[in-house]
């Protein structure tokens, strides 16, 4: 029986197309058919770009379109601007918005020959940890469709896990790539702040946001990062060679173990309040690294507990500022019959934004208001510096820190929607990397059985700024010792009905 091309890695699909073992058109058609059959059960896509994807596949087959990702179907989180299709941020306020330009990462993917197959669902404006805050409909976890895929890049992670695309882009403001990747059993990489251009990413928290890949394997993440990383003059926060050094070939040396590897373990992340299966998966990974010759070093991150409150002041303050532009005047949803200008603004925003977005705008506006700026926002920035110092001190002792990406596996749909604080705690082990600006990667680390269903468990690796190449090599070491990345959820057209 011939191998189903959708069961191959991104790199395998790329190589099969390059060798003409299969046509790009056949690959894209196979993925489109799979989306049509299965996405009803998952809800990963807001929009599928069928005709455009097939046209570009034909260009690959004709030799008119070449590049390191030629013919590979890629999904894009719907808060990344594309001049084709819609860019909605899964919000009613941008329900029909069409961007006049591409984000830099989109131009780079298309120059590399990638086929953008569709735009994926997310928590509205990337504000959420479960993909239940979408203004349209929730996305479901392919491993158990009664559970969340994580958020906010839940659509991208679910699409990769369900083999509805070969790879995807997400954005990570407080864990929005890493946590859903862990919940869905795939690889998710948040690069160092500034490694990848944010131009064309609809801003949530400008000092925290970063675009990164979600893929089936570590090598696939490296292949996508090779294409999207690097300086961009359109983004003043994007690192150049002076600040970030030359961008390496992230695929180089992936098959070679890191010599004299030192793995840091912070007890603050191995809390007794975690689901026991989560701690067991991380402990098992630590043992594997020890058997591979790594030295395990205990490190201290004393300000870990302040990460969530610090994040929800900094991020909401920036959101309050960034989302002020959605006012019913410039673009997006406008209320039908306003009484006056003030009513136009307030009614348009009240109708267009969901409850979680409104909550975060109000929190951020309060934190920035007169009399409270010093007490909240300024203090949060000071705590942020302490968190960054904790990581700097830890990385003087180790090459990477190993920890859980979340305190528990994927939870049931609706389980935390009535308790925002409980939902926020799903990001307790991811937000600090964004506050510190360091890279982080999650990858499959095992499974646990809950209510008779098999759910993925993840492993998170954190490294110093601009250490993505080493993180990928460390991740590849672990990946070679396990078979977790090859395991897939069972979905059928019948379940999509």
> CB of 28 within 8 A of CB of 73?
yes
* Mean confidence (pLDDT) of the chain: 96
Nearest Cα neighbor of 141 from 494, 376, 362, 455 is 455
Residue 325 lies in a domain: no
In-domain check, residue 114 = yes
Coil/strand/helix, residue 296: strand
Is 289:258 a contact under the CB 8 Å cutoff? no
Task: Give dist(CA 39, CA 37) in Å, integer.
Answer: 6
pLDDT above 90 (res 493): no
pTM over 0.85: yes
Order the strands of the 73-77 sheet from edge to edge.
45-48, 115-120, 73-77, 167-171, 211-215, 187-190, 440-450, 453-462, 400-403, 262-266, 295-299
How far is 481 from 458, CA to CA, in rounded Å? Answer: 15
Helix (H, G, I), strand (E, B) or coil at 175: coil
From 77, 119, 190, 470, active-site residue: 77
CA distance linking residue 286 with residue 295, whole number of Å: 10
Please count the structural domains in the chain: 1
437-478 pLDDT per residue, tens: 999 999 999 999 999 999 999 999 999 999 999 999 999 999
Does a structural domain hold residue 151? yes
Is-contact 263 289, C-beta < 8 A?
yes
Q: Give the whole-angstrom CA distance, residue 442 versus residue 429.
A: 11
Kindly state whether residue 64 falls inside one of the protein's structural domains: yes
pLDDT band of residue 331 (cuts 50, 70, 90) is confident
Residues 437 and 210: beta-carbon distance below 8 Å: no
**Helix, strand or coil, per DSSP, at residue 395:** helix
Task: List the catalytic residue out of 11, 129, 152, 153.
Answer: 152
Residue 311 within a domain: no
Pairing outcome for strands 453-462 and 400-403: antiparallel
User: How does 1-37 read in b/e, with b if 16+ C-beta sit within 10 Å?
Assistant: eeeebbebbbbbbbebbeeeebbbbebbbbbbebbeb
As a whole number, mean pLDDT of residues 356-372 equals 95
Instruction: Provide CB contacts within 8 A for 286, sequence distance 6+.
Output: 263, 265, 296, 402
Q: Mark whether 388 is an active-site residue.
A: no
Q: Residues 372-380: what's their mean pLDDT? A: 94
Contact 348, 328 (CB under 8 A): yes
CATH number, domain of 39, equals 3.90.1300.10
- Token reading at 397: 């002792």
| 339 occurs within a structural domain | no
Structural domain containing residue 295: 5-268+274-301+389-496
pLDDT in tens, 239-251: 999 889 999 999 9
In the set 130, 176, 320, 467, the catalytic residue is 176
Provide the pLDDT for residue 492.
75
Picking from 135, 125, 158, the residue whose alpha carbon sits closest to that of residue 40 is 158
Give the containing element (helix H, strand E) for 167.
Answer: strand 167-171
Q: Is residue 414 part of a domain?
A: yes
**Catalytic residue status for 86:** no
Per-residue DSSP letter, 4:
P
Answer yes or no: 9 catalytic: no
Which pair of tokens denotes residue 279? 């701690």
- pLDDT computed for residue 495 by the predictor: 52
Helix segments in 82-137, DSSP class H: 104-111
Residue pLDDT, tens place only, 204-234: 999 999 999 999 999 999 999 999 999 999 9
Closest of 268, 266, 271, 363 to residue 306, by C-alpha: 268
pLDDT tens-digit series, residues 128-157: 999 999 999 999 999 999 999 999 999 999
What is the β-pairing status of strands 453-462 and 45-48? Answer: unpaired
- Residue 429 in domain: yes
């Amino acid at each position: 029986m011939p191998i189903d091309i959708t069961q191959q890695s991104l790199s395998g699909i790329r190589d099969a197309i390059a060798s003409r073992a299969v046509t790009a058109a056949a690959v894209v058609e196979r993925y489109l058919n799979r989306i049509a059959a299965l996405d009803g059960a998952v809800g990963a896509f807001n929009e599928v770009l069928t005709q455009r994807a097939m046209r570009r596949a034909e260009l690959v087959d004709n030799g008119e379109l070449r590049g390191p990702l030629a013919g590979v179907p890629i999904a894009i989180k719907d808060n990344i601007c594309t001049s084709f299709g819609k860019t909605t941020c899964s919000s009613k306020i941008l329900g029909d918005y069409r961007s006049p330009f591409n984000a830099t990462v989109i131009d780079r993917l298309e120059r590399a020959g990638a086929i953008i197959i569709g735009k994926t669902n997310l928590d509205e404006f990337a504000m959420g940890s479960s993909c239940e805050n979408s203004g349209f409909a929730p996305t479901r976890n392919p491993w158990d469709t009664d559970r969340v895929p994580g958020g906010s890049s839940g659509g991208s992670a679910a699409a990769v896990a369900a083999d509805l695309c070969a790879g995807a882009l997400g954005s990570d403001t407080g864990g929005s790539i890493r946590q859903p990747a862990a919940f869905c059993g795939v690889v998710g990489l948040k690069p160092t702040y500034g490694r990848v251009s944010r131009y064309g990413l609809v801003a949530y928290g400008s000092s925290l946001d970063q675009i990164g890949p979600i893929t089936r394997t570590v090598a696939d993440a490296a292949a996508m990062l090779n294409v999207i990383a690097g300086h961009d003059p359109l983004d003043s926060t994007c690192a150049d060679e002076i600040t970030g050094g030359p961008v390496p070939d992230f695929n180089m040396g992936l098959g070679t173990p890191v010599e004299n590897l030192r793995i840091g373990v912070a007890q603050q992340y191995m809390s007794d309040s975690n689901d026991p299966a989560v701690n067991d998966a991380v402990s098992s990974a630590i043992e594997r690294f020890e058997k591979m010759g790594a030295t395990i070093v205990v490190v201290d991150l004393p300000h870990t507990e302040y990460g969530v409150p610090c994040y929800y002041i900094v991020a909401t303050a920036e959101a309050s500022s960034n989302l002020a532009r959605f006012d019913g005047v410039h673009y997006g949803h406008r209320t039908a019959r306003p009484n006056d200008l003030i009513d136009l603004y307030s009614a348009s925003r009240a109708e267009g934004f969901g409850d979680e977005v409104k909550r975060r705008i109000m929190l951020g506006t309060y934190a920035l208001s007169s009399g409270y700026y010093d007490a909240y926002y300024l203090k949060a920035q000071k705590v942020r510096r302490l968190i960054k110092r904790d990581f700097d001190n830890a990385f003087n002792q180790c090459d990477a820190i190993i920890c859980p990406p979340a305190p528990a596996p994927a939870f049931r749909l609706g389980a935390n929607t009535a308790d925002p604080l409980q939902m926020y705690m799903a990001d307790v082990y991811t937000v600090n990397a964004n506050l510190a600006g360091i890279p982080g990667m999650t990858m499959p680390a095992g499974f646990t059985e809950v209510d008779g269903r098999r759910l993925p468990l993840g492993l998170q690796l954190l490294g110093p700024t601009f250490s993505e190449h080493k993180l990928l090599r460390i991740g590849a070491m672990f990946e070679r010792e396990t078979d977790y990345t090859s395991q897939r959820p069972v979905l059928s057209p019948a379940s999509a009905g």
